[in-house]
Chains A and B, each alone.
Chain A
Amino acid sequence: MQHSNTQDTLVGLFVAAGIAGLFFLALQVSNLSTFVEEDTYTVTASFENSGGLKVKSPVSAAGVKIGQVKSISFDPKTYQSVVEMAIYSKYENLPTDTTASVFTAGLLGEQYVNLEPGGSDEYLQDGSKIEITQSAIILEKAIGQFLFKSAEEKAKK
């Protein structure tokens, strides 16, 4: 069999294109890049209720993603939800009195952890614990409270 060089070249190009496609999917489309490229440090926070938060939910500050949720577990002693977060190392100057809250993006959107920096001079480090937290707003609860309040106000009048 005689093999033409063009055929070999085309096969080479084809395989290269296919592998490029795979890389594109891995790096540009999926979340793989966020694991590979970034160094992170871990901080924890305990919530009364972490709501619909999931592993890999984003952690953001001022609307910018600065990390993601690493694990969520239930602490049987305090009956709280313990959330471990991986924060990108380049955002290393978060004050120790930062507030962590579970928010919802839009009415039906996914839930995420919002970090609101405080005024302390000391910064969070790997393994630190965020003390000030605010739980997820549970829609049923909020509606219930609202109804209860308005009923109370009516009763006052």
Chain B
Amino acid sequence: MIKFLNFLGRTTTTGFTKLGRGSYFLLDTLAGIGSMALRPRLVVNQIYFVGVLSFLIIVISGLFVGMVLGLQGYYILSDFGAEETLGLMVAASLVRELGPVVTALLFAGRAGSALTAEIGLMKATEQLSGMEMMAIDPIKRIITPRFLAGFIAMPLLAALFSAVGIVGGQLVGTGLLGVDDGAYWSQMQANIDFEDDIVNGVIKSLVFGFVTTWIALFEGYDTVPTSEGVSRATTRTVVNSAFSILGLDFILTALMFGDD
């Protein structure tokens, strides 16, 4: 029992220590943002790695998720004779929840893990130390551009995911199952609110982008500099990101859509 309490205490302390280091790391990262205005190239370069390279997986997943929503939604709604609201259902689920959340989860798996591995390897091969000794701040030069790129790319990816998903739902719903095309769009337009739904969805994906990129970069930066350490850090990135995304999603949803 004592042992257990001891273990619990130690784990909690380590957790808080890590959170503390992570917060300092975040502050350092944010402090570098100003200097990025002078060197937008660095950020553009990274948008390629986190954004463009995630494009395909996001578009394909979005299309399939939308198509599945179209099918499932149709089966349920047709029981109530409400097939016309299919567009609304597909759009609302995508814009409010699935777009930001699934995009963030895929992003953590695709781009987040790659970021952790890249930074971790740079640390293990002394590239970060080397930079420090060349009087170049690795946080400003390496971390901040990647952070900004993640933060910018996430909402764009989420918007693409939702947009493609809605088209996917339409393909299945109106193309395959015979829902009226006009009803699909008009029900959607009548009930999806720009501020409540679209803007809140974008806010969600901004928050997810911030947190996922932070976790990925910090895990890389905080890696034990061995190959085993890097592979563990990569796993931790995906797991911790997933937890944070889902937990934050609950909180954000409660805040945003709580009082309708």
Pick the residue among B55, B185, B189, B191 that contacts A17 (CB under 8 A). B55
Q: In the complex, which residues 24-71 of chain B have their Cβ closer than 8 Å to any Cβ of chain A?
A: 41, 44-45, 47-48, 51-52, 55
Pick the residue among B51, B81, B159, B193 that contacts A30 (CB under 8 A). B193
Of the listed stretches A7-15, A81-89, A124-132, A133-141, name the one at the interface; the rest are far from the partner chain.
Answer: A7-15
Q: Does A29 contact B (CB under 8 A)?
A: yes
Complex: A11 Cα to B47 Cα, angstroms: 7
Complex: A148 Cα to B145 Cα, angstroms: 74
Shortest distance from the beta carbon of B97 to any chain A beta carbon, whole Å: 14
Which residues from chain A contact B156 at a C-beta distance below 8 Å? 14-15, 17-19, 21-22
Count chain B residues whose beta carbon lies closer than 8 angstroms to a beta carbon of A.
35
Which residues from chain A contact B55 at a C-beta distance below 8 Å? 14, 17
Of the listed stretches B105-113, B194-202, B245-253, name the one at the interface; the rest are far from the partner chain.
Answer: B194-202
Which residues from chain A contact B198 at a C-beta distance below 8 Å? 25-26, 29-30, 32
Which residues from chain A contact B45 at a C-beta distance below 8 Å? 1, 3, 7
Q: Does B190 contact A (CB under 8 A)?
A: yes
Complex: A106 Cα to B83 Cα, angstroms: 13
Q: Does B163 contact A (CB under 8 A)?
A: yes
Which residues from chain B contact A8 at a C-beta distance below 8 Å? 44
Residue-wise, chain A 102-144 has the 8 Å CB interface mask toward B (1 for contact) of 0000101000000000000000000000000000000000000
User: Main SS of chain A's interface residues?
Assistant: helix
**Contact A21 B190, CB 8 Å, known A14-B51, A30-B197:** no
Q: Does B95 contact A (CB under 8 A)?
A: yes
Which residues from chain B contact A11 at a C-beta distance below 8 Å? 44, 47-48, 51-52
User: Main SS of chain B's interface residues?
Assistant: helix
Shortest distance from the beta carbon of B57 to any chain A beta carbon, whole Å: 13
Shortest distance from the beta carbon of A25 to any chain B beta carbon, whole Å: 5
Complex: A30 Cα to B200 Cα, angstroms: 12
Residue of B nearest to A18 (CB): B156
Which residues from chain A contact B82 at a C-beta distance below 8 Å? 106, 108
> Is A25's CB under 8 angstroms from B162's CB?
yes
Which residues from chain B contact A26 at a C-beta distance below 8 Å? 194, 198
Residue of B nearest to A35 (CB): B194
> Is A30's CB under 8 angstroms from B48's CB?
no
> Is A21's CB under 8 angstroms from B52's CB?
no
Complex: A3 Cα to B43 Cα, angstroms: 12
Q: A11-B48, A17-B160, A22-B155 are in contact. List 17 more A-B contacts (CB 8 A).
A: A1-B45, A10-B48, A15-B51, A17-B55, A21-B156, A21-B159, A21-B163, A29-B95, A29-B188, A30-B192, A30-B194, A30-B198, A31-B191, A31-B194, A32-B194, A32-B198, A106-B82
The contact sample of 6 A-B pairs, CB cut-off 8 A, is: A7-B48, A10-B48, A14-B55, A17-B156, A30-B197, A33-B189
